Amino acid sequence: MTAFVFNEINFDNHEQVVFASEEKSGLKAIIAVHNTHLGPAMGGCRMWNYATEAEAVRDVLRLSRGMTYKNAVAGLPIGGGKSVIIGNPKTDKTPALFEALGEALERLGGRYVTAEDVGTSPADMANVASKTKYVAGLGDRGDPSPFTALGCFVGAQAAIRHQLKRDSFDGLTVALQGLGHVGYDYARRLHAAGAKLIVADIDQAALQRAQDELGAEVVGIDAIYDVQADIYAPCALGATLNPDTLSRLKAKIVAGAANNQLATADIGEACRQKGILYAPDFVINAGGIIKVCYEYLNTPEDGMEAHVRRIGDTLTEVFSRADAEGLPTSVVADRIAEAKFKK
């Protein structure tokens, strides 16, 4: 198994990869600590019905690396990590499962701090917290979704200012994929700013709500890539920017909340060649981890929203440097992060 992890294409000199199991609760989890040069690794716990163990390993390695880059660019005193639980979040959750995860985190002694993510909730994190203090995002106060959405909104503002030479969303069309907590709040902000929405999701209730409340046009999951839009906003799972979808996109901007949006690293250059301005995912979607970090470190929250809004300034720097250096925005964002966390 160790050789499998070391040879996995997404292994990036991770400091620690831990497989945690507990027979009674049925816990099967993987915890990946990518880098702790800036502080303890922090990143959410995802629960997903992975088809194979290899798929779970691949996901946790990619996500944990992304958290290192995200936390560094956001100027947070934390490193990057992630955990995944193998299981169906709709049918396999029990308090004992998350208590067992808490015990596994406790054994790591604070090298990794978890929080909610896809498939988990603040209530689940409360069960984790019954066994360890190394957990953030607890209770109603801990929901980071609105802050992730705010960061995406100010990031999109920076993108239209740079790419379209305008400040207003009036008359712009956004093709938004994924109406979860973050996606819907992002859509609400865009609608309030004057944008027209075209949306796609597998949740029919969310689609109906977007139609009723936001006047959104609904299209199929795959059809979202073919619509006429100014901005494509991926807010569901990753890797939706790939050779197939890129050839179909008509948008001039990609600005969404999903993690790992580029299927492969070379897609960043492909976006540049096609004249698409890509807002690097780990920069634009950092609002949630900023909120969670403030809460966990007991940092006064009066400066938290301003910190999230600085995502727009960071993206403006990324866009300007990319233009000046003739590089993809993804490469420039990586370099800014690496300058902060690499020894």
Give the whole-angstrom CA distance, residue 337 versus residue 38: 11
Residue 82 annotated among the catalytic residues of the structure: yes
One DSSP character per residue, 117-138 reads -TT--HHHHHHHHTT-S-B---
> Environment class of residue 25 by beta-carbon count within 10 Å: exposed (0-12), middle (13-18) or buried (19+)?
middle
Q: Whose structure tokens read 């596994």?
A: 104
Encoding tokens for residue 240?
A: 């939706």
Three-class SS state of 239: coil
Of 70, 82, 196, 291, the catalytic one is: 82
Cα separation, 288 vs 118, in Å, equals: 13
From 187, 218, 214, 185, select the one nearest 201 (Cα to Cα).
218
Structure letter (DSSP) for residue 314: H
User: Helix (H) and strand (E) counts for the chain?
Assistant: 13, 12
Nearest by Cα to 122 from 107, 135, 105, 106: 135
- Choose among 203, 202, 200, 196: nearest CA to 225: 200
Strand order in the sheet with 217-218: 217-218, 196-200, 173-177, 231-234, 253-254, 277-278
**Helical (H) or strand (E) element with 196:** strand 196-200
C-beta neighbour count of 93 within 10 angstroms: 19
Catalytically active residues are 82
